[in-house]
């Protein structure tokens, strides 16, 4: 299995477990399938950084980040997904520590991210890892024409 397949599997299975209640079933099935296949092209561009964490040799968690398009000197965490098989194992926490270390090494002043407002598990995870709400919110359309509320979290690295 190639890296694109591995990342696609993590992304799709995370979505299936965490986001099913936010979308129409027909759109959701298509969105999950899209997440399985999109990573080959994304990884081929090598524009941003992707880190994987494995348990017993099986990759189950990934972080995907790069320079923020809206905050000079900052990074944006574009995606952080943990396969449901890894929930509660510490894999996500270990990868967050490694991701923040890498961002510091790369010289970023801070990092921000967007997460769904109504996902308490992800919001607790980011808070546990030192992120705080920035106070910004937005409505994001994932492609189904029904924007969902997101909140921004941030963490100063310097």
**Does 88 fall in a domain?**
yes
**Does 42 fall in a domain?**
no
**Does 18 fall in a domain?**
no
Q: Is the pLDDT of residue 46 over 80?
A: no
Q: Cα 138 vs. chain centroid, distance in angstroms?
A: 17
Domain that holds residue 104: 48-156
pLDDT at 116: 94
DSSP 6-53: HHHHHHHHHHHHHSGGGS-HHHHHHHHHHHHHTHHHHHHH--SEEEEE
Q: What percent of the chain shows pLDDT beyond 90?
A: 68
Q: What is the mean pLDDT of the chain?
A: 92
**Does 69 fall in a domain?**
yes
CB distance 60 to 82 below 8 Å = yes
**Does 126 fall in a domain?**
yes
Residue 86, domain CATH: 3.40.630.30
Calculate mean pLDDT across residues 136-142: 95
**Does 97 fall in a domain?**
yes
The tens digit of pLDDT for each residue in 58-91 reads 999 999 999 999 999 999 999 999 999 999 999 9
Q: Is the pLDDT of residue 1 over 70?
A: no
**Does 87 fall in a domain?**
yes
What does the DSSP 8-state code read for residue 137? E
39: how many CB neighbours lie within 10 A of its CB? 24
Q: Cα 115 vs. chain centroid, distance in angstroms?
A: 8
Specify the range with the lowest mean pLDDT, choosing from 15-24, 36-45, 77-86: 36-45
pLDDT at 70: 96
Counting the structural domains of the chain, the total is: 1
53 or 40: which leads in pLDDT: 53
Q: How far apart are CA 4 and CA 48, in angstroms?
A: 14
**Does 32 fall in a domain?**
no
């Amino acid at each position: 299995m190639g890296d694109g397949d591995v990342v696609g599997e993590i992304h799709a299975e995370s979505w299936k477990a965490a986001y099913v209640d936010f979308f129409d079933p027909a759109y959701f099935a298509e969105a999950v399938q899209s997440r399985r296949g999109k990573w080959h092209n994304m990884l081929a561009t090598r524009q941003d950084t992707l880190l994987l964490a494995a348990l017993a040799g099986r990759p189950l968690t990934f972080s995907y980040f790069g320079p923020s398009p809206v905050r000079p000197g900052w990074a944006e965490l574009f995606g952080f997904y943990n396969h449901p098989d890894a929930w509660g194992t510490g894999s996500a926490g270990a990868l967050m520590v490694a991701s923040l270390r890498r961002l510091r090494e790369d010289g970023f002043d801070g990092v921000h991210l967007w997460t769904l407002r109504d996902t308490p598990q992800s919001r607790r995870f980011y808070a546990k890892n030192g992120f705080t709400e920035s106070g910004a919110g937005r409505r994001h359309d994932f492609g189904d024409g029904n924007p969902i509320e997101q909140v921004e979290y941030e963490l100063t690295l310097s």
